[in-house]
Copies of this chain bind each other. A is one copy, B any other.
Amino acid sequence: MISFTEENYLKIIYKLSAETDHEISTNSVAELTQTKAASVTDMLRKLSEKQLVSYQKYQGVRLTEKGENLALIVIRKHRLWEVFLVNKLGFNWDEVHEIAEELEHINSEELVQRLDEFLGFPQCDPHGDPIPDRNGRMPELGYKNLSEIGETQVVIMMGVSQHSTNFLQYLAKIGLNLGVIIEVIEINDFDKSLTIKIGGDNQYFISYEVAKNILVKTF
Contact = CB atoms under 8 A, between A and B. Distances in A.
Contact of A88 (B95, B98, B108, B118): B118
Interface in A96-126: 98-99, 102-103, 106-108, 110-111, 114-115, 118
How many copies of this chain are found per oligomer? Answer: 2
B107 A89 contact: no
Contact of A115 (B89, B95, B98, B102): B89
Contact of A111 (B99, B108, B111): B99
A214 to B, nearest CB: 27
Interface residues of A, number: 18
B99 A108 contact: yes
A133 B111 CA distance: 26
B91 A114 contact: yes
A107 B118 contact: no
A29 interface: no
Contacts of A115: 89
Interface of A: 85, 88-91, 95, 98-99, 102-103, 106-108, 110-111, 114-115, 118
Given A88-B118, A89-B118, A102-B108, 14 more contacts: A85-B111, A89-B115, A90-B114, A91-B110, A91-B114, A95-B110, A98-B108, A99-B106, A99-B111, A102-B106, A102-B107, A103-B103, A103-B106, A106-B106
7 contacts: A90-B114, A91-B110, A95-B110, A99-B106, A99-B111, A102-B106, A102-B107
List the 5 closest A-B pairs by CB distance, nearest first.
Answer: A89-B114, A102-B106, A99-B108, A89-B118, A99-B111
